[in-house]
């Protein structure tokens, strides 16, 4: 039985455009729309590219027979990845020691630069490492030489990655995807149309593969306000596809109207976005304290804050479900850092090869700061907070956790792991950035003049993280106090339209910085 399409969905399904961009709000039925789009074209071969393997597996049973569901990595694995099965893994600083003749502690800065350049190259749409580090005539001789040496070192490691016999240097998953992109694959003999889902968080390498398919129809679907993987180099492909017709899906079948409105308020205030999501699931509840009946999700910005909540709930005897599984929250790696702190007794228990090199938390912290390794620094802060109690508390959390989401009404997740999911009730943690100052004024660059310059203005990326967190809730949302202060500010401006008008006024007067 065919679904009843909204006018917005019908426009997309019946479109004759060869290149389409669909801005779909949270819960706005983008997958259902793509399914109907495919059904309307039974004689065309369609490739649906999913954001990750789990989404691909879920999608396989939903699309009609004329659609093949894949990830870009699975396309690349068949041609290149499979021959590196024996050496797949993440590139770490110590992997570069042998091939470059360096020491990961003594030469930390140089190794960090090489690793960063390689990761950027693998994720990019560029064809060579040289393109990543252009040498300008304005560069002095010393800088030119430094750039050449950096490129030379990166190329040496890249060659070692591609050497099947060299197991000292692993081949990252983005590495064989890069090889696939460099081969300039032509997908037109196999597919007439390519559907790219979650296009707002596209690896630039993937974007190059997709956008170069000139003989295929292209449909890019996503929510620009859910672009939360910029720190990994992800880009919003919908803003980069030239000559595409834009459509919108603005009715959320997930969120109640107050919840959808709050998400739009955040993106309007801190990004100036005029995309307003409208909920069709009743009015809903948004309060600073709600009674959590039934299924509830605790969402946090960081692993460390999530751990604090998990320990508290475990102490109360609550059964816990960690989205994606408890092992995905790096608790074992956290224990390794704890073992470094108590090196004298537990050095032999350290599993991580890199951490084995350190005999104190201070020495590890110093190295992590040099390498800008925020993940390690976060674990160090947790170890310092709980000290000797940490192993017992983590064991308690493990004991109280379950792999079955149906076995408990308490789910825990970071915002990034919660993307794509939904719950009737969501409780937001207290580790999100403050939205307003003590006067109730938003920390928004768009509402701040050059003369005023509020400190710690919320970045567009953080606004997106907040939007994703808010729109995981279906009918009830518990928020920190400053969220409701932002709502009060909006009332003084006439709601979202008033805020957008105010922002436009600031831009025209050129006061905004």
Query: Are residues 84 and 178 in contact, defined by beta-carbon separation less than 8 angstroms?
Result: no
359-364, Cβ contacts within 8 angstroms, sequence gap of 24 or more: 361/337, 364/337, 364/340
Highest mean pLDDT among 108-122, 314-328, 336-350, 465-479: 465-479
Domain 7-80+184-249 shares a fold with domain 255-325+403-512: yes
Confidence of residue 39 (pLDDT cuts 50, 70, 90): very high
Alpha carbons 356 and 368: distance in angstroms, whole number: 14
Say what the pLDDT of residue 508 is.
75
Query: What's the CATH fold of domain 7-80+184-249?
Result: Rossmann fold (3.40.50)
- Tens of pLDDT, residue by residue over 344-389, are 899 999 988 889 999 999 999 999 988 877 678 878 988 998 899 9
At 337, list the tokens: 């850092």
What's the longest Cα–Cα distance across the chain?
70
Query: Are residues 401 and 309 in contact, defined by beta-carbon separation less than 8 angstroms?
Result: no
Alpha carbons 167 and 388: distance in angstroms, whole number: 38
Provide the residue count of the chain.
513
Alpha carbons 24 and 240: distance in angstroms, whole number: 16
Alpha carbons 157 and 186: distance in angstroms, whole number: 28
Q: What is the 3-state secondary structure (H, E, C) of 97-123?
A: HHHHCCCCCCCHHHHHHHHHHHHHHHH
Burial class of 513 by CB neighbour count within 10 A (0 to 12, 13 to 18, 19+): middle
CATH 3.40.50 fits 255-325+403-512, yes or no: yes
At 53, list the tokens: 């393997």
Residue with tokens 């789910």: 411
- CA atoms lying within 13 Å on the CB side of residue 390: 23
At 375, list the tokens: 């993940």
Say what the pLDDT of residue 451 is.
54
Mean pLDDT for the chain?
Answer: 92
* Phi then psi dihedrals of residue 452, to 5 deg: -85, -45
Alpha carbons 59 and 69: distance in angstroms, whole number: 7
pTM, to two decimals = 0.84
* Domain locations in the chain as residue ranges: 7-80+184-249, 93-170, 255-325+403-512, 326-402
Transcribe 154-183 into DSSP letters.
Answer: HHHHHHHHH-TT-TTS-B-HHHHHHHHHHT
> Measured in whole angstroms, how far is the alpha carbon of residue 102 from the centre of its chain?
32
Contacts of 91 (CB under 8 A, 6+ apart): 115, 118, 119, 157, 161, 169, 170, 172
Mean pLDDT throughout 235-254? 94
Transcribe 433-499 into DSSP letters.
Answer: PP-B-TTS-B--GGG-BTTT--TTPPPHHHHHHHHHHHTTEEEEEE--HHHHHHHHHHHHHTHHHHH
Say what the pLDDT of residue 328 is.
84
Say what the pLDDT of residue 427 is.
98
Task: Report the range of poorest mean pLDDT among 327-331, 461-465, 499-503.
Answer: 327-331
At 440, list the tokens: 């109730």
Query: Are residues 196 and 219 in contact, defined by beta-carbon separation less than 8 angstroms?
Result: yes
- Tens of pLDDT, residue by residue over 290-336, are 987 899 999 999 887 898 899 889 999 999 999 989 988 878 888 99
Query: Are residues 173 and 21 in contact, defined by beta-carbon separation less than 8 angstroms?
Result: no
Alpha carbons 162 and 84: distance in angstroms, whole number: 8
* Phi then psi dihedrals of residue 220, to 5 deg: -105, 125
Alpha carbons 277 and 510: distance in angstroms, whole number: 29
- Tens of pLDDT, residue by residue over 388-436, are 999 999 999 999 999 999 999 999 999 999 988 999 999 999 889 999 9
At 424, list the tokens: 């009737």
Q: What is the dihedral of CA 417, 420, 424, 427, to 10 degrees?
A: 30
């Amino acid at each position: 039985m065919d679904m009843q399409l909204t006018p917005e969905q019908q426009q997309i399904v019946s479109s004759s455009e060869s290149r389409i961009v669909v801005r779909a709000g949270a819960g706005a039925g983008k997958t259902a729309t793509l399914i109907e789009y495919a059904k309307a074209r039974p004689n065309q071969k369609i490739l649906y590219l999913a954001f990750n393997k789990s989404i691909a597996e879920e999608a396989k049973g939903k699309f009609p027979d004329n659609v093949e569901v894949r990830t870009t990595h699975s396309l690349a694995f068949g041609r290149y990845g499979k021959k590196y099965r024996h050496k797949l893994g993440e590139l770490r600083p110590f992997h570069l020691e042998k091939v470059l003749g360096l020491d990961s502690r003594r030469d930390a800065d140089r190794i960090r630069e090489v690793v960063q350049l390689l990761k950027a190259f693998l994720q990019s749409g560029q064809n060579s490492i040289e393109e990543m580090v252009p040498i300008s005539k304005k560069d002095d001789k010393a800088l030119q030489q430094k750039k050449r040496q950096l490129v030379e070192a990166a190329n040496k490691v890249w060659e070692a990655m591609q050497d099947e016999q060299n197991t000292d240097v692993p081949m990252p998953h983005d590495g064989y995807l890069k090889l696939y992109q460099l081969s300039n694959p032509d997908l037109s003999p196999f597919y007439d149309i390519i559907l790219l889902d979650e296009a707002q968080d596209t690896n630039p390498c993937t974007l190059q593969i997709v956008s170069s398919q000139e003989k295929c129809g292209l449909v890019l679907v996503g929510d620009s306000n859910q672009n939360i993987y910029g720190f990994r180099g992800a880009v919003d492909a919908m803003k980069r596809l030239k000559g595409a017709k834009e459509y919108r899906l603005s009715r959320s079948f997930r969120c109640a109207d107050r919840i959808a409105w709050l998400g739009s308020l955040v993106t309007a205030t801190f990004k100036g976005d005029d995309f307003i999501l409208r909920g069709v699931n009743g009015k809903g509840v948004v309060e600073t304290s709600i009674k959590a009946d039934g299924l509830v999700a605790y969402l946090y910005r960081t692993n460390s804050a999530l751990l604090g909540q998990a320990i508290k709930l475990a102490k109360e005897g609550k059964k816990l479900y960690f989205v994606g599984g408890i092992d995905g929250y790096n608790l074992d790696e956290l224990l390794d850092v704890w073992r470094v702190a108590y090196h004298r007794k537990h050095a032999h228990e350290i599993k991580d090869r890199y951490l084995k090199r350190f005999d104190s938390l201070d020495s590890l912290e110093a190295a992590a700061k040099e390498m800008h390794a925020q993940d390690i620094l976060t674990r160090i802060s947790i170890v310092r907070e709980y000290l000797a109690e940490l192993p017992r508390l983590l064991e308690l959390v493990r004991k109280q956790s379950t792999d079955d989401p149906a076995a408990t009404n308490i789910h825990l997740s970071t915002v990034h792991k919660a993307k794509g999911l939904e719950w009737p009730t969501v409780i937001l943690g207290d580790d999100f950035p403050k939205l307003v100052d003590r006067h109730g004024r938003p920390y928004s660059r768009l509402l701040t003049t050059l003369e005023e310059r509020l400190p710690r203005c919320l970045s567009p990326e953080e606004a997106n993280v907040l939007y994703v967190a808010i729109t995981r809730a279906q009918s009830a949302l518990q928020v920190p106090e400053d969220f409701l202060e932002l709502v009060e500010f909006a009332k003084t401006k006439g709601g979202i339209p008033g805020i957008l008008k105010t922002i436009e006024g600031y831009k025209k007067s050129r006061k905004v910085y």
